[in-house]
Structure 1
Amino acid sequence: MAQDSAADTRQQQLNLIKQADLTHHLHPFTDDNALKQHGPLVVTAAKGTRLFVETGIQLLDMVAGLGCVNIGYGREDMAERAAQVVGELSFYHTFQGATNPYTAVLAKKLSEMTPGHLNKSFFTNSGSEANETIVKLARAYWRLKGKPEKIQVVAREYAYHGSTLMTASLNGLPAMHQAYGLPLDGVHHIPSTAWYRNGGDQSPEDFALTCARALEAKVERIGADRIGLLFVEPVQVGAGVVFSSPAYWAELQRIAKAHDILIAVDETVTGFGRMGEWVYHPKLGIEADFVCLAKGMSSGYQPVGAAMVADHVAEVLAEGGVTQHGFTTSGHPVVAGLCLKNIEILAQEYLLDTVRESLGPRFQDRLQSLADHPLVGEVRGEGLAAGIELVADKATRRQYPLDQGVCGQISNAALMQGVVVRPVGNALVLCPPLVVNDAEIEHTVSVLESALDEVHGRLTGGD
């Protein structure tokens, strides 16, 4: 009887939470009609790679909370660090030259973890804010260089750089533009290297070079004296983990440098160990003038972002006097303290080495076993990031119409078996915590195979 009463109380509390959410919470990237029909998913706790939802249901999170919880959920050492810093210095701003022991040390640490010419950090609360900051700093740089017309920005199709007005404009995602009358003037897009979807009869290598040379065509149309910044992701994770070849990066940079265009690299997802490196772009031969860091910087334990600025840019910006930009909580001491502890954990537990040398290769190898499935066109990945491209016809690489929701059907089927993967267009994205183990990887592959079979049977009229 007591157990029944406790269960009833928990259910009543859950119902109150759901009703409060439905009545008062405006969710990001959520279909409001679907939310009203099915109600919110209440996540009550998390530990390691596991989420605990509703009345104790356990889920294996193979997307690490949108690709950010690199060290895993619910670590006591992170909680202890948060309590320590709150007790010492719960908050003070960094305006007018103020700093604190955590923020100053974090800035130094980031300069040591990135290429040697990136020695300045501007702290923000998210990757969106860091990318917005980069656009503003680039505009300031060109004004100080006597070229105020170089305010046009080029990004790539399928890109995701954030949700502010400018960063949403940078996104190569029409759905994020239509609702808000975007993109803003002065933002342009060139093709993504998503060969499987868009490569046609070209080889992957030829298609990649065609995509890179689209920047040259854009310069010819707009004018080199007007384009000041090129925004790229080393891997387009949000597009389905789309990679670009070394030849592509070499050609793209050749064109950018020939026309005096600064390069901003968005490492929001790829940084802090996901690819087995602190930052991934040097491995690809990319030389950045700006780098965006976020997500894995704190493993999602606190909102954070940083715009890393190259020395030659920072020196020009210093000539402009006061930086007329910032956020109340830029360089928050508690956030910085948690970032430092997160970096310490990543280093002391050799998580980058493990991802690069053993866990990452095993993860990729096991996912490749799904490549022969009738619904799978291509499995792409490196480290602990992978994209499974879905296909209607392998011979022609024809995709299912997006409004058919095949990707969502598969992710829902996996969710019903306790595994969280992310549907993105016609691709499934996996980017688990860096503490995922072999048994969890095996279980995920088994669940995905079952989910693919279930949806394929439904599509083909099978049982």
Structure 2
Amino acid sequence: MTLHQPNSLEARDVAYQLHPYTNARRHEEIGPIVIAKGDGVFVEDVDGKRYLEAMAGLWSVAVGFSEPRLVEAASRQMAKLPFYHTFTHKAHAPAIELAEKLIAMAPVSMSKVHFTSSGSEANDTIVKLLRYRANALGQPEKKGIISRIKGYHGVTLASASLTGLPNNHNAFDLPMPGVFHTMCPHHWREGREGESEDAFATRCAEELEALIEREGAETIAAFIGEPVMGAGGVIVPPATYWEKIQAVLKRHDILLIADEVICGFGRTGQMFGCETYGIEPDIMTLSKALSSSYLPISAVLINDRVYQPVADKSGEIGTFGHGFTASGHPVAAAVALENLAIIEERGLVANAAAMGERLQAGLAGLKDHPLVGEVRGVGLIAGIELVTDKGAKLAAQPPGSMAAKAFGLIQERGVILRAIGDTLAVCPPLIVEAGHIDRIVQTTREGLDALAASM
């Protein structure tokens, strides 16, 4: 770290940038690690230290860093049509082709795609779509949305309200009215003594139904959930959970939104998390691995049940008064198309399934570690929850301090994970190989050993 050098990148960063998800005062003290380049599953900082990026950047770089085909796709499109919008009956080939591709790939029948630039924008758009649709149907009260404690759906005013994490609400005066949170489906943490996964799933569904009945089904438009909760701590749903949740929603005529921002395009070992868990959504949110995050792009997929009332209302008003300058950006769309082609041509979903088995088996070997309370995951996404007391499932205080220390010790050894509360998250690129998986597991154990020795 060279913060004492006034012209260093680190010092200039501290001087000029406010970072997301960062303690600003702490950042003034320690500064950043400045990443200079990446290749495959590795990134390198400005001092030349290489790290195995076991979080795929931010749950997102499916095809790895510096993939030449994506660079070339961006360059070709930049030279041909670097920007055009999709407002007022305008279109261009990359957005048309990407929309067509996503409708064909969707795990259930979908009608239309609306492009945005991030998962947050996409989920914010969905909140507006639900209000627009309710008014179109003459149901002005049916605009409430149910999310889940520890769910993550973004950071705009609307999407952060859907998110069920305190740090996304504290000091922002959120959540906004009309958003409700039901229980987190984390069996290990929330299950009662002796309660099976199936019984716990039943209790989750019963709590959801009680919430709907308390608020009135006529006031609830939709339920939103990630197939596997990511930023809330990699929480895998218990057996029968999604089956029972969907049955409740169907009984009360409530739409289902599947937030596939993290799970989509292979992460769970199938193309979509919806396929892994038998989810049949009315609306889907896609981003991150859609372009491997080489360029910002996201998509909202809606079925005909959602589209037709929205289209009717736009005809009545004269326009659908929503959209972003970069909606369906041609360069981002071109990169996304090439990224999806690579995922399919190289069999990366199958690789995620195979390497996922190796990852889950390897991390399961950490369950005997004195600081590990639970290991959970599916495919190429996993969480390791740290504790000091296994029986009581308690971690050291203050909350999050154990995982933060473990994260630092593992990063010092050349592997980047992510600390979420007292959980270490793992989410490597879909191109990961057996040797990379083994290194992630071994380095994680070494970091945990070092943490245990320091306590």
Normalising by the smaller structure, the TM-score range is over 0.9
Q: Secondary structure at the match of 1:256?
A: helix
Q: From 91, 104, 107, give the equivalent of 1:99.
A: 91
Shift of 1:156: 0.2
1:205 matched to 2:208? The reply is no
- Aligned position for 2:208: 215
Q: Secondary structure at the match of 1:367?
A: helix
% identical aligned pairs: 38
Q: Which amino acid aligns with 1:274?
A: R
1:192 matched to 2:184? The reply is yes
Shift of 1:280: 1.5
- Aligned position for 2:412: 416
Q: Secondary structure at the match of 2:419?
A: strand
Gaps of 5+ in 2: none
- Aligned position for 2:351: 354
- Aligned position for 2:385: 389
1:437 matched to 2:433? The reply is yes
Task: Give the TM-score normalised by structure 2.
Answer: 0.95
1:27 matched to 2:19? The reply is yes
Size of the aligned set, in residue pairs, is 449
Q: Which amino acid aligns with 2:73?
A: R
1:318 matched to 2:318? The reply is no
Shift of 1:449: 0.9
- Aligned position for 1:285: 278
Q: Contact conserved, 1:168 with 1:176, CA < 8 A, in 2?
A: yes
- Aligned position for 2:101: 109
Shift of 1:19: 2.6
Q: Which amino acid aligns with 1:67?
A: W
Shift of 1:402: 4.3
Shift of 1:192: 0.7
- Aligned position for 1:130: 122
Residues 1:404 and 1:64: Cα distance change in structure 2 (over 3 Å): closer
Shift of 1:13: 9.4
CA distance in 1, matches of 2:45, 2:401: 25
Q: Contact conserved, 1:402 with 1:425, CA < 8 A, in 2?
A: no
The correspondence of residues 265-344 of structure 1 with structure 2, limited to 5 A, is: 265-321=258-314, 322-344=319-341
Shift of 1:411: 0.7
Q: Contact conserved, 1:127 with 1:161, CA < 8 A, in 2?
A: yes
Residues 1:96 and 1:76: Cα distance change in structure 2 (over 3 Å): same
1:57 matched to 2:49? The reply is yes
CA distance in 2, matches of 1:143, 1:283: 34
Shift of 1:75: 1.1
Q: Which amino acid aligns with 1:78?
A: L
CA shift digits 1:125-176 (9 cap, x unpaired):
0000111111111111111111110111110000110000011111111121
Q: Secondary structure at the match of 2:38?
A: strand
- Aligned position for 2:155: 163
CA distance in 2, matches of 1:283, 1:143: 34
Q: Which amino acid aligns with 1:338?
A: V
- Aligned position for 1:345: 342
Q: Contact conserved, 2:268 with 2:276, CA < 8 A, in 1?
A: no
Residues 1:277 and 1:11: Cα distance change in structure 2 (over 3 Å): same
- Aligned position for 1:373: 369
The correspondence of residues 174-253 of structure 1 with structure 2, limited to 5 A, is: 174-201=166-193, 202-253=195-246
Q: Which amino acid aligns with 2:40?
A: G
Tell me which moved more, 108-117 or 63-72.
108-117
CA distance in 1, matches of 2:305, 2:173: 36
Shift of 1:431: 0.3
CA shift digits 1:384-430 (9 cap, x unpaired):
10111212222233333443600111111001101101111121110
Shift of 1:278: 2.1
CA distance in 2, matches of 1:64, 1:367: 17
Q: Contact conserved, 1:402 with 1:426, CA < 8 A, in 2?
A: no
Q: Secondary structure at the match of 2:43?
A: strand
CA distance in 2, matches of 1:133, 1:154: 16
4+ residue runs over 6 A deviation: 10-14
CA distance in 2, matches of 1:403, 1:347: 41
Shift of 1:12: 11
Gaps of 5+ in 1: 1-9
Q: Contact conserved, 2:148 with 2:183, CA < 8 A, in 1?
A: yes
- Aligned position for 2:139: 147
1:363 matched to 2:359? The reply is yes
RMSD of aligned residue pairs (Cα, Å)? 1.7
Task: Give the TM-score normalised by structure 1.
Answer: 0.94
- Aligned position for 1:5: none
Q: Contact conserved, 2:359 with 2:437, CA < 8 A, in 1?
A: yes
CA distance in 2, matches of 1:245, 1:207: 8
Q: From 23, 32, 39, give the equivalent of 1:47.
A: 39
CA distance in 2, matches of 1:22, 1:61: 23
Shift of 1:241: 1.4
Q: Secondary structure at the match of 1:264?
A: strand
CA distance in 1, matches of 2:103, 2:398: 42
Q: Which amino acid aligns with 1:340?
A: L
